[in-house]
Amino acid sequence: MIDAYEDPGTPDVRGGWRYLWWLVRCQPGRSVAGALLGSSWMVLLAATPYLMAKAIDEGLEPGDWAALAGWSFALFAVGSFNAWLSIMRHRTMTRVRMDANFRTVKVVVGQAVRLGAALSRRTGAGEVVTIGVGDVQTIAGALTVVGPGVGACVAYLTVAAVLVSVSPVLAAVVLLGIPAIVVLVGPFLSRLQGTETEYRNRQGVLTARIADLAGGLRVLNGLGGKGLVADAFHRDSQRLRAQGYRVGAVTSWVQALGVGLPTLFLAVVTWLAARLAAEGDITVGELVAVYGYVAVLVGPVAFWVECGYQLSRGVVAARRVVRFLRLEPLEDRGTRDAPAEPSVLHDPESGVSILPGRLTALACARPADPATVLDRLARYTPSRATWAGVPLDEIRLPQIREHILLADHEADLFAGNLRDVVAPHGGAAGHEEQAAALHAAVADDIVQGLPDGLDSAIDAQARNLSGGQRQRIRLVRALLADPEVLLAVEPTSALDAHTEALVAKRLREAREGRTTAVTTTSPLVLDHADTVLYLVDGKLAATGTHQQLLTEEPGYRALVARDVEVAK
């Protein structure tokens, strides 16, 4: 089975079927073993009626008790060996499925890491969650065809060959009847793929809504929008339920035909064999054998239908994984080095310039506008932004990430102890640097309030902390990274006035002489900025200090006084 730290390989993303075949090719020995064990197991199932026929014709009917005992012992030995084969087959196929499961998880997680900041811009959280909780298991289940699926084909051909020696008529009926059953079930499998695809798509939408609800329930409740979102969620869940019923309807037909048609076929062949036995064309033992052969064939046919069902669902799931694996991160065509000294960042689209070594604040009535400007200046979206007059797109992306840090106020916080959460590069920062960053972000009280200080456990997204505490922890992490250029989006929006004033003062002191830009409309933060850039509709409208803009710009004055309607 794939090791947790082993390279999963390069997946084949040319289509769902090719991805499933890649999973098989990644474990050739185990796949071949599963096919051999499955084939041997099913063929030996067919040996049971053959041995029973011999016991009847050569032992029971002529009264030869020695022959009867010999064939009975052979029947017991074959049954015991086949039971062991069944155990090994099941164990091998479990490993095949688990390898496919873990390998898919690794390539999906690796792709998420590769996409990095582009992940949220390329796909929704619901899509990734749906892949993780549903599609991975479905893909693994589809690999059942490797063992029992191949074994069913081998058993079918073997039984057909044996029946030729008993009765060519019966062999012809079996050879033609079983494919006819598969053909009858085929259209339902095709329909299942369509309904399953639609179901998975709706499931992704609903999962995204759940994620949005979990992240913004408090805000929605405060704004009175909880009811509207709940209604939308109810409608989406009803649509998903209706689509689930459609999937269930097709699935029930597939499963019913998979069991019912082989049983009906068994009855037809048994009736025909009984007629042949009554007419003396076959012996009583051969009649029992024919019944056993056909009864054994019910298993392979059921496996074929089950494998078709699993493959139909597996291909749908694999296509979703392939779509995700085809996503590309931010394109990097840069060939030039970053500026050797602090330089101006300029965004021509908005007219914003971030001067080196200064604390710059961007204020706008719509918080998304200055955040978009910072996205362009940090090269998270294509733009004509420049750094020291050089287009950002021409500078190597790793160097931009090394020198420019975009600190979002809703950035992810991973589970772990607080020391690992705030310290970049695996905790490379020393004790003094951590203490200084905690002080600058006014986060000392957070550490003091936790039972084990910096060694205290933090939940995923720091859910065991308040909103203001999470925001300060994010700021601590950004300060510890100590970038040449820090671009912070609303770093104090969840803080009370007293804490916000302290953060603004200490942030200026901690970043003295280094380039820092923040988006905010808080006068407590704006008053500490060297330069305030006032934006209207995403464009630079005025530049100056906080006090100058209060005096000269009515729109800015209305904005910081929280009179947003006038500011617009």
> pLDDT class for 429, splitting at 50, 70, 90?
low
> pLDDT class for 204, splitting at 50, 70, 90?
low
> pLDDT class for 544, splitting at 50, 70, 90?
very high
Tell which wins on pLDDT, 341 or 461.
341
Whole-angstrom CA distances from 328 to 9, 136, 246 are 18, 21, 34
What percent of the chain lies above the pLDDT cut of 70? Answer: 86
Q: Please give the pLDDT value at position 345.
A: 96
CA dist., res. 510 & res. 466, Å (int): 24
pLDDT tens digits, residue range 231-281?
777 777 888 788 778 778 777 777 777 667 777 777 777 788 788 878 877
Neighbours of 62 (CB within 10 A): 11
Whole-angstrom CA distances from 291 to 154, 177, 320 are 19, 15, 44
The answer on pLDDT for 210 being more than 70 is: no
- Amino acid identity of residue 413, one-letter, is L
The answer on pLDDT for 425 being more than 70 is: no
Asked whether the beta carbons of 397 and 334 are under 8 A apart, the reply is: yes
**Weakest-pLDDT range from 127-136, 347-356, 359-368, 477-486:** 127-136
> pLDDT class for 214, splitting at 50, 70, 90?
low
Helix (H) or strand (E) holding 467: helix 467-481
The answer on pLDDT for 301 being more than 50 is: yes
The answer on pLDDT for 216 being more than 80 is: no
Question: Residue 487: what are its φ and ψ, rounded to 5°?
Answer: -115, 110
352 strand-pairing partners: 347
pLDDT tens digits, residue range 501-523?
999 999 999 999 999 999 999 99
Q: Please give the pLDDT value at position 565.
A: 47
Find all residues with CB under 8 Å of 204, minimum gap 6, and list them. Answer: 124, 126, 127, 129, 130
Whole-angstrom CA distances from 184 to 1, 250, 293, 304 are 37, 13, 22, 12
Q: Please give the pLDDT value at position 208.
A: 63
* Burial class (CB within 10 angstroms; exposed 0-12, middle 13-18, buried 19+) of 323: middle
CA dist., res. 484 & res. 338, Å (int): 11
Token duo for residue 431: 């004790």
Please give the distance of CA 48 from its chain centroid, rounded to a whole number. Answer: 45
The answer on pLDDT for 415 being more than 60 is: yes
CA dist., res. 489 & res. 492, Å (int): 9
Find all residues with CB under 8 Å of 235, minimum gap 6, and list them. Answer: none
Question: Residue 365: what are its φ and ψ, rounded to 5°?
Answer: -65, -30
Neighbours of 134 (CB within 10 A): 18
- Which of 395, 318, 325 lies closest to 109, judged by CA? 325
Residue listed under structure tokens 């009975």: 72
The answer on pLDDT for 355 being more than 80 is: yes
Question: Residue 562: what are its φ and ψ, rounded to 5°?
Answer: 70, 20
DSSP string, 31-84: HHHHHHHHHHHHHHHHHHHHHHHHHIIIIITTT-HHHHHHHHHHHHHHHHHHHH
* Burial class (CB within 10 angstroms; exposed 0-12, middle 13-18, buried 19+) of 20: buried
What percent of the chain lies above the pLDDT cut of 90? Answer: 31
**Weakest-pLDDT range from 303-317, 339-353, 437-451:** 303-317
The 3-class secondary structure across 76-100, one letter per residue, is: HHHHHHHHHHHHHHHHHHHHHHHHH
Average pLDDT value for residue range 202-224: 58
Tell which wins on pLDDT, 442 or 431.
442
Q: Please give the pLDDT value at position 309.
A: 73
